[in-house]
Every structure is written in C-alpha cells, then in structure tokens.
Chain A
Amino acid sequence: MPADSVVGIALLHPELLGTYGDGGNALVLAQRLRWRGVEAEVLPVHAGEPVPSSCELYVLGGGEDAPQALAAAELGDGALARAVDRGAVVFAVCAGFQILGHEFLIAEGPRPGLGLLDCTTVRRAPRRAVGELVVEPDARLGLTTLTGYENHAGLTELGPDVRPLGRVMAGAGNAGDGREGAVVGRVVGTYLHGPALARNPALADLLLSWVMGRELAPVDDGDVERLRHERLAAALGRRARLRGWRRRVAIPVTR
C-alpha cells in the first residue's frame, strides 16, 4: 500500500489490446477500491508513451495480431518487468496473456514475448476456441468457480515455472489440455473475457488484497451474483442435465 494512498491502475495500450472489452477489468478494480473508501486512478497508457513505474496494478487485454505485436514491442523496454520485481500485480487477458509469455504467434510468424510468465503460444488451433469458459480455480487461490468467454486460436503451453489459474470445466482454455491461464507470484494470465473481473469479483478482490496487504470488506455484489448464476447455468447446463439423466437411470440399479 503506497504512502500517498491513491492506488494506480495502468491500463496498458487499450487502443491495441481493447478489442474484447477487457478495459472493463481496470474499471472494476478501481470501482471496487472506491466502494471501500480507497482512492484509485486508472491510467490508460497509449503506444508511444512510457509505462508508468509507480502503479500498483497493470492490466492488459485481448487484441488482433498486428496490434498485439505492436503492443509487445512497446512493452519490451523492461518497465513492466521492473514493476513486477518491485511487487506490482499484473493481470493479462488473451493476447495480453500471450505477450507475457516467452513467445507468441501472429499471422506473420512468432514474436518474442516479455517472459514474465513461463509459457509459449507458438501453435495455432485448427478451429478457434469460441464460447463460454468455466474454470475450477487452483484451490490455493481460495476462489469460487470462474466464468467468462473465450475467443482465441493460439494454443498456450505452460512451462514448469508457472501453475495454471485453474482446470477447465467447460470450454477449451489454454491448449485443450484441461488447463486454463497461468499464475506466478502476482502475475496472472487468462483467456477469460467477460470482462473476467466483472464476472468474477472474487478474483478482482484477490488481486486487490495482494495490493492492499489485507482482506477486503465485502461489497454489494447482488447484480453480479445474478449474472454468475445465469452464465454458469448456461455453460454447465448440458453437463448438469446429463448428470441428472445418469442419476435417473442409476436409481433402479441401486435399488
């Protein structure tokens, strides 16, 4: 928690990495601090501008190939790595997640990433993964089920120095290997759009608790609870129906 008590949230290259509404993640983080009486400021950082060195949170979103490559080149000056070294939180989605790895793929070929996450995205799925994505988060994170929407062709493979954000319950996730996202220290990558932090306030509060160094008081999440219920029912409905069918069939057998 900084002495001047205004939490800075850098929204990195929204004009390049803002195709899927992920800029909403920065707004969610700022508002959840303000609702608790903590001042917060979202600082959009555009291409050509230096990455501020003093923010507590850095947020990246999804985007198209060429803007993704430009954003990676812009961020390659080491400023983000230095922020991570001093304990800043980084939350990156889709193209932004891929940029944080060692290498990522655009139409013209592979490009170097920032190497903040031990992962690579050098293969492309034959069919784009598009649809609701449900993730059972790593138990160590103490989170409830994660819900979002994925839309990507890149296949992200994790190395030994990161662990997945969670296991895929519905959807594709990183590379169809049952794993979704990546976490190391205070750096988190994921394919969840929605935006992720709007649909998953517990994840937003986890990132904020890392910044504040304490648990945060609850806020009114009535609207989002209704949305989560709706989305999880829509994504898991078919599986739930199938389970119900199995139960009905099983009854005479157990008797």
Chain B
Amino acid sequence: MAARAGLAVAYGSRLAGHGGSVLGGRVTLALDARALPRLSEGRTIALVSGTNGKTTTTGLLAAALGTGGSVVTNDSGANLPYGLVAALTADLAAGTAVLEVDEGALPPVVAATRPAVVVLLNLSRDQLDRYGEVRMIAARWRGALADAPGAHVVANADDPIVVWAARAAASVTWVGAGQSWREDAATCPACGHQLRWDGAAWACGSCDLARPEPALSVDGDTLVSRRGERIAVELRLPGRCNVANAAMAAAAAQHLGVPTARAVAAMSETTEVAGRYRVVRVGSSLARLLLAKNPAGWVEALDLLRPPPLPVVVAINARVADGRDPSWLWDVPFERLRGRSVVASGERAADLAVRLRYADVEHETCSDPLDAVRGLGAPAVDLAANYTAFQGVVGATARAG
C-alpha cells in the first residue's frame, strides 16, 4: 500500500516537472519504515558501492543482468534509502534489482535488503566533512558484511582499504581492477603499519593483509581470468576507469549466472549513464560532459580530456552532496592544464581560481558553467564538473534540449 502511494506521488511529481523518484521514495518510506526490506524480499539484490564509479558500474551491471530478465535499478544516482525504495517500487514484477548505494548508507542497506551480491569498487577521500575519514567507512562496512553471511562480495583487490573491508565477508570474488590513486593507502587499514608497494602488488610489513590473488584482472582493454582466458571489452564509454567498472560488473554478473562473454556484450551497448560522457549542444558549441567528484576521480578525468587547443571548463560546487570543504582541489594535479584555455566555473569558482593561479594555469572565471562554454565560442569544449555542478548542467541541458 505504501509502495502504491509512493508510486502515485512519483507520478504526480513527474507530471509537475520534478524528478519523480526521490519524492515518491520519501513518501513510501514515511508511510512504511520497513519498505526497503519488504520491497527487497524474494528478489535478487545486487548492491554497488564505493567512492568512484558507482553509477556507471550500476548501469553496466543492470545491462548485463538485463539479458536474463527484467531488472530495476537506480541508475540516476539517487543512492540513499529513499532513492532505493523508489527504484524498487518502479517495477514490482522485476525479480532482480541493481542498486547503487551511498558508501555511508551501505551498512543499513545491506541489513535491510539482504543482497545476493555486494560490489565494492574503491574507497578514497571524498566529502570528508560528511563521511569522516576513509578508514571509518571501511570499518562500518566490515561490521555490515560480517553480519550478512548470505552476501557474496565482489571486491577490488588493488585497493587495500576495500580488501580489508571485504575480508569480513563470508565469500569474496577478488577483481584486479586497478587503483591509480594511492594517497589514502599509505598505511595498513588493519594494523596501521606502513604498506609496501611493488608494482601492483602490495602487502603490509607487519600483519597478514596483502593483495589477494584476483579471479579476474584488467589488462588494457581485456579481462583476464585466473585460468588465462581473455575477453576483449569494447565499451562505448572512455577510459581505463570504465574498463575497471566493467570488470567489477562482469564478476558480479557471473556470480549471478550470466557468463562473462554475454555480460561484456551487453555492457558494450551502454553509451552513457546518467549524463556521464554525454555530448550536449550549448550555443554554437558541442560540450562533452565529464564527472569527477574527488581527487581520485579528477586524476582519471584529466586523462580523458581531449588534447589542446580544445578548451576546458572546470565547474566546482561545494554543496552537501559534494562535501562542503573544497580543500581537496589542492590534491588534484591541475598543473596538467598549463598552457590550455581554461575557465574556472561553478559556485566555488573562486576556490578553483586560486588553485589554478598557484598551478600557473592561466584562466578566466565564470560562475555559470553553460555561460562559460558559450563565452568560449569554440566548436568543441570539454566540461568537467563535480557532482552537483554536473547534475546542474545535465538538468539544464536536458530541459533546453
């Protein structure tokens, strides 16, 4: 009943021009506090969490599992309990749900949904004002996984903090998905001693925490199984990070009975997830939209920028969902933008402008990202934005289109 009321509100909210899912989910949860376990019961639930790549991995996994029957998912990125409730309510007949979960909300969501699979991508600094520090999140994950013996975990073997968290689970598939950001993994999350790195391998100098042998690894654009089988991944999404996301999704799909070759074929049809990498027309320009939310994500995003003289707009907000403290801008190697045409944009353009000044990056400042693109007057622009700035651009260009 509560789910139906929520659906009705979602429908009304969509008619009124708002994104329907969140409001509908809020109403359902208000009417039935146990809506999440009730809506999950009898369904195969796959959860996806981590700092970066949640939305894309959720989209890829939903595509892979969609080959075997109908799937509900929250691939718009509404990843708190009311967003999950809204997704689960959208098609009550769907037997499988693929749900992206906020890393802070994962413990209660694991308890409520009794998932078949939990995909743990990576953990790095993000929204330190809201989440607290990285190890605190990992410790809460450990508690939740230890209390969920039915959940199979698919975890990134290349992220020591994720490995420590996943070792609390009853069963784990390790994936060598890579992790280029190591600044949060200098010390062992288990015992605090220094971690030793040797290429991709890592181990604690004191306790037994070490990189587990992966069942599936990423080698360029190819997935390699432990037995040496190689499956080429031809994604329509750019970058190393998305091959890694596909590897994590493929391992989860395989655990749920979808062979890797079939999963990879289904994932190759995905062209964008929730606006990421979308190309939009802004005035006379075609702007490609890139999302990066934290230092680890920005390192990947800077790799994806097309070469100069193509100009770049960087848009930064610092709302609650972004983290209120943009000090992390100083962890991003913006020096790599030197010599390019750059516009500092977003609600915290002033913070970014100072960072760029110290990086010796010449820049203009324009707080509205779309005005920034228009002002450049270039035929093609890369527009890289953090979370709420990105959502603002996706929303504004969708309305205009």
Q: Which residues of A contact B (CB under 8 A)?
A: 14-16, 18-24, 27-28, 31, 47-48, 64-67, 69-70, 128, 130-131, 149, 151, 193-195, 198-199, 223-224, 226-227, 230
Binary CB contact string for chain B from 84 to 128 against chain A (1 if under 8 A, 0 otherwise): 000000000000000000000000000000000000000001001
Q: Which of B12-20, B67-75, B131-139, B393-401 contacts the other chain?
A: B131-139
Q: Taking A130-B129, A227-B354 as contacts, is the C-beta distance between A67 and B327 under 8 angstroms?
A: no
Chain A nearest CB from B338 CB (Å) reads 13
- Min CB gap B265→A, angstroms: 41
Complex Cα–Cα for A23 and B335 (A): 14
A224–B356 Cα distance when bound, in Å, is 11
5 additional A-B residue pairs with CB within 8 Å, beyond A16-B186, A64-B135: A20-B128, A24-B330, A130-B324, A198-B355, A227-B353
B274 to chain A, nearest CB (A): 27
User: Chain A contacts of B38 at CB under 8 A?
Assistant: none
* A227-B328 in contact given A70-B194, A128-B132 (Cβ < 8 Å): no
Q: How far is the CB of A233 from chain B (nearest CB, A)?
A: 11
Query: Is B44 positioned at the interface, with any CB of A under 8 Å from its CB?
Result: no
Cross-chain pairs A/B with CB under 8 angstroms, 5 sampled: A31-B358, A149-B324, A151-B325, A198-B354, A223-B357
Q: Which residues of A contact B192 (CB under 8 A)?
A: 66-67, 69-70
Q: What is the chain B residue whose CB lies nearest that of A201?
A: B354
| Cβ-closest chain A residue relative to B351 | A227
A residues less than 8 Å from B188 (CB atoms): 66
Interface on chain A toward B: helix, strand, loop, or mixed SS?
A: mixed
A23 and B183 CA atoms in complex are apart in Å by 12
Contact A198 B133 (CB under 8 A): no
A66-B331 in contact given A223-B354, A223-B357 (Cβ < 8 Å) = no
Q: Is the CB of B354 within 8 A of A20?
A: no
The answer, yes or no, to whether B184 is at the interface (CB within 8 Å) is yes
Closest residue of chain A to B185 (Cβ to Cβ) is A15
Complex contact B187–A66 (CB within 8 A): yes
Chain B residue nearest to A220 (CB atoms) is B357
User: Does B2 belong to the interface (CB within 8 Å)?
Assistant: no
A27 adjacent to B184 (CB under 8 Å): no
- The answer to whether A20 touches B327 (Cβ under 8 A) is yes
Q: Which residues of chain A come closer than 8 Å to B329, judged between CB atoms? A: 21
CB distance A149 to B358 under 8 Å?
no
